[in-house]
Amino acid sequence: MRISFSPQRRDDALMVSRTGDVLILNGEAFDFSALPDGATIPAGVVPCRWITGPVDRVDGELRVTLILPHGPNPSAAVAFPESLTVTDDGPIAIPHDEVDDVDA
């Protein structure tokens, strides 16, 4: 599975994991196992606010672009994230900046 990112200033968070062709975003599962090789699900068809753009299967690899939420001053790694190739099931570490806990 290839995951690309579209960074966006947001105050919410995204937790990502996978089980085979099932992508789990903040606890909601999206099953792409029925998507055949060479096929595309057009942008906006998958009912998920985190998936932006089409979902494709190319040479057997599922490709998806996710919104990557970030704070007001993202690091370069978050503002310009590299795509991830995910081969294992389980939680996926997505680019993020550590948030400082500041007592008011």
Residue 99: inside a domain, yes or no? no
Residue 95: inside a domain, yes or no? no
Residue 50: inside a domain, yes or no? yes
Cβ atoms within 10 Å of 73's Cβ, excluding its own: 9
| Res 98: pLDDT | 80
Residue 98: inside a domain, yes or no? no
CA angle, 15 as apex, 18 and 41 as ends, to 5°? 55
pLDDT digits (tens, 9 = 90+) for 40-65: 999 999 999 999 999 999 999 999 99
Q: Domain residues for 14?
A: 2-90
Domain count, the chain: 1
Residue 48: inside a domain, yes or no? yes
Query: What's the average model confidence in pLDDT over 67-72?
Result: 95
Residue 69: inside a domain, yes or no? yes
Which DSSP letter does residue 33 get?
T
**pTM, entire model:** 0.90
**pLDDT > 70: what percent of the chain?**
94
Residue 83: inside a domain, yes or no? yes
pLDDT at 76 over 60: yes
3-state secondary structure of 77: helix
Select from 99, 97, 98, 94 the least CA-distant residue to 5.
94
Select from 14, 102, 86, 60 the least CA-distant residue to 6.
14
